[in-house]
Amino acid sequence: PSLDALSTAQAVAKSTWQNEYAMVNPVQVLDLTETEQKHLLYHFSAFSADVTRENVFGAEEYKYCTVLLPEEYVAYTHLPRVSEGGVFSIVQDVPKFSVPARMQGDIYMGTILNPERFTFEHGYRTAFDYRIDENNLMHGFFTGASRSGKTVAAMRFIAELSKIRRKKTGKRLRIVVMDPKQDWRTLARFVEPERFNFYSMGNPNFNPIHINPWKVPHGVNPQVWIDGVIDIYCRAYGLLERGKQMIADVVYELYKENGVFDVSGSDSESKDLVAELSSRVNFQSIYRRMEEKRDKLTGAGKSGNDTKDAYARLIERLSCFSREYSIESKLYGSSEGIAIDDLIGADEVTVLESKGLENTFKNFIFGVITSGFFKFALAHEGGYLADDQYETVLVLEEANEVLTGNDCAGTGGGQNFGMSGQSEFEQILDQSAGYGLFIFAITQKIADMPSSVIANSGLVFAGRLKRTDDINVVVRTVGREERIDDRDLVKWFPRSPTGWFVCQTSRTFDFKDAEPILVQISRLNINPPSNIELDEILIQKKAKTIMSA
């Protein structure tokens, strides 16, 4: 209690007990004179107590006071706890986090908070900025419950990242954002028009992009590409191993008919020819061939019901490509679409907005784009670290759906288990940083993500979390223990205010720099541009391109 409270207290709390070693004096609230108060204030200002002792019935005790920690004081007595309107008597403290000073780096994220220092003017805010140096760039994830501010934090990071140049090369970064909502178009307000690209993946009427996922990117081995696309499609749609084999038979048959496998050679002309021939294979041709196979099996009467049911399920998932008016058929079903590597431009910022696209197909196409960027890096000498390339950052909003799939339907026989083996995304996250490709996952459910996301993320941003599994994963990731020692951190995450994030950078040479830090993320405070505003920005880009040419 404060000295004013001590001077005005009307009651004396009395509690005595005795053991075989010592008698503890009653806790007393003293009515001090003004001189005594000033004397005590003098000692307290020097962070010390008055150590004068006096003899009381043969026992030598401190004359004025004994300094106790709150936990020690509670062992003696506690004040009445009252919960009333505006009175919070059982609120737990904010856990302790590291509070570094003068952090260096071009990537500004917000203000460091000090849980042990509160002022009425600034709250827990300190005078120190939380910054990240571009040399610390690694894979990372942003996690938090809905409306916790994770997308704002991620957008702040990417907006800052788009401005920097790598110290070793002087180059800027290539950034590609896969956005299932309409949040990330806000980047158009932070990036120069000549560097900004925007494509609608689910709206054929506003700056749409046409992609043929079956067109082999330049330099990628056709078999490697086919196997990857099939695996991603089957994982997204829950087709399991049997469905994977059946769709592979059809796809390989079409590629063989179009002469893709007859082209050999590592020269540029052969690679161009592979891309040209493979473009003839598309979702519409796969759907038609699948129907032909089903009709033959039905007419011959030689196949069992399980096989027929499996073909029926495959055709059902491909049926959207039989409708000319469907978004999937218009944008992704024909041979007119570009290959994934055609999205790989210069040091640009590209937003791929999928609002309006069916959820499962959206996860598939985002997965294929991620795979395409990785496979292109593998096929290109030096990857994105080559002299003619730019280091690349892929941002996956709702990454738990893209990287794991969300359709658990089987292919007959009552199966409900997932596909065997490691998904391709595990390999991407394990190896891609060495080729200059960095993945940033934004998810509400970090515990459901592939283990490689957690294992390889050197940048961690964790906001308010509700699920026990998610909390435990984050606590362990930042180097804490959720059971006993750091239980306060477990209790903190469900109460974390919007915009407060526990941040950690692991790519350091000093272990102290890897300590988690509590940060209030600085908001961008800018609304996303409308379609009309985006049109104006894209027109500016075209005009500048024409003028520079």
**Average pLDDT score over residue span 75-99:** 74
> Which distant-in-sequence residues (6+ apart) come within 8 Å of 134 by Cβ?
105, 106, 107, 161, 164, 166, 167
Is residue 244, in this structure, part of any structural domain at all?
A: yes
| Judgement on whether residues 41 and 151 belong to the same structural domain of the protein | no
Is residue 127, in this structure, part of any structural domain at all?
A: no
d(CA 343, CA 337): 11
d(CA 194, CA 543): 9
Tell which of 337, 359, 377 closes a domain.
Answer: 337
Could you tell me the pLDDT band of residue 415, with boundaries at 50, 70 and 90? very low
- Three-class SS of residue 74? helix
Could you tell me the pLDDT band of residue 24, with boundaries at 50, 70 and 90? very low
Q: How many residues does the chain have?
A: 549
| Judgement on whether residues 318 and 462 belong to the same structural domain of the protein | no
The answer to whether residue 76 scores a pLDDT higher than 70 is no
Of 186, 240, 205, the C-alpha closest to 417 is: 240
Q: What is the pLDDT of residue 456?
A: 92
Q: What is the mean pLDDT of the chain?
A: 84
Q: In this structure, what token pair is assigned to residue 122?
A: 């600034």
Of 318, 19, 351, the C-alpha closest to 202 is: 351
| Judgement on whether residues 398 and 537 belong to the same structural domain of the protein | yes
Q: In this structure, what token pair is assigned to residue 31?
A: 């009515």
Is residue 201, in this structure, part of any structural domain at all?
A: yes
Check residue 459 and report its DSSP letter. Answer: E
Phi first, then psi: give them for residue 59, nearest 5 degrees: -110, 130
Q: What is the pLDDT of residue 303?
A: 59
d(CA 278, CA 289): 16
Q: 495 or 67, which is more confident?
A: 495
Is residue 275, in this structure, part of any structural domain at all?
A: yes
Identify residue 109 by its one-letter amino acid code.
Answer: M
| Judgement on whether residues 257 and 382 belong to the same structural domain of the protein | no
- Three-class SS of residue 503? strand
Share of the chain above pLDDT 70, in %: 83
Q: In this structure, what token pair is assigned to residue 58?
A: 């043969």
Is residue 458, in this structure, part of any structural domain at all?
A: yes
Is residue 522, in this structure, part of any structural domain at all?
A: no
**Average pLDDT score over residue span 384-399:** 94
Share of the chain above pLDDT 90, in %: 56
**Average pLDDT score over residue span 40-59:** 68
Dump the DSSP string for 435-468: GTEEEEEEES-GGGS-HHHHHHEEEEEE----SH
pLDDT one-digit tens code per residue, 371-383: 999 999 999 999 9
pLDDT one-digit tens code per residue, 136-179: 999 999 999 999 999 999 999 999 999 999 999 999 999 999 99
Tell which of 285, 308, 337 closes a domain.
Answer: 337
Q: What is the pLDDT of residue 7?
A: 38
What CATH number does residue 443 fall under? 3.40.50.300
Report CA-CA distances (Å) from 139 to 1, 392, 403. Answer: 48, 11, 14
The answer to whether residue 98 scores a pLDDT higher than 70 is yes
| Judgement on whether residues 202 and 344 belong to the same structural domain of the protein | yes
Is residue 229, in this structure, part of any structural domain at all?
A: yes
Tell which of 308, 337, 366 closes a domain.
Answer: 337
| Judgement on whether residues 356 and 481 belong to the same structural domain of the protein | yes
Tell me if 151 sits within 8 A of 397, measured CB to CB: yes
- Angle subtended by helix axes 240-257 and 305-318, to nearest 10: 70
How many structural domains does the chain have? 3
| Judgement on whether residues 175 and 229 belong to the same structural domain of the protein | no
Residue 168 exposed, middle or buried by CB count within 10 Å (0-12, 13-18, 19+): exposed
Residue 264's CB is within 10 A of a number of other CB atoms, namely 9
| Judgement on whether residues 314 and 352 belong to the same structural domain of the protein | no
**Average pLDDT score over residue span 517-533:** 92
Q: Which domain range does residue 159 map to?
A: 136-209+339-404+423-486+533-549
| Judgement on whether residues 42 and 159 belong to the same structural domain of the protein | no
**Average pLDDT score over residue span 182-199:** 93
Least trusted range by pLDDT, from 281-295, 350-364, 401-415, 426-440: 401-415
pLDDT one-digit tens code per residue, 206-243: 999 999 999 999 999 999 999 999 999 988 888 878 88
Q: What is the pLDDT of residue 310?
A: 80
| Judgement on whether residues 446 and 541 belong to the same structural domain of the protein | yes
d(CA 400, CA 544): 38
Check residue 79 and report its DSSP letter. Answer: P
Is residue 99, in this structure, part of any structural domain at all?
A: no
pLDDT one-digit tens code per residue, 283-337: 999 999 999 888 887 665 555 677 777 888 888 889 999 898 899 999 999 999 9
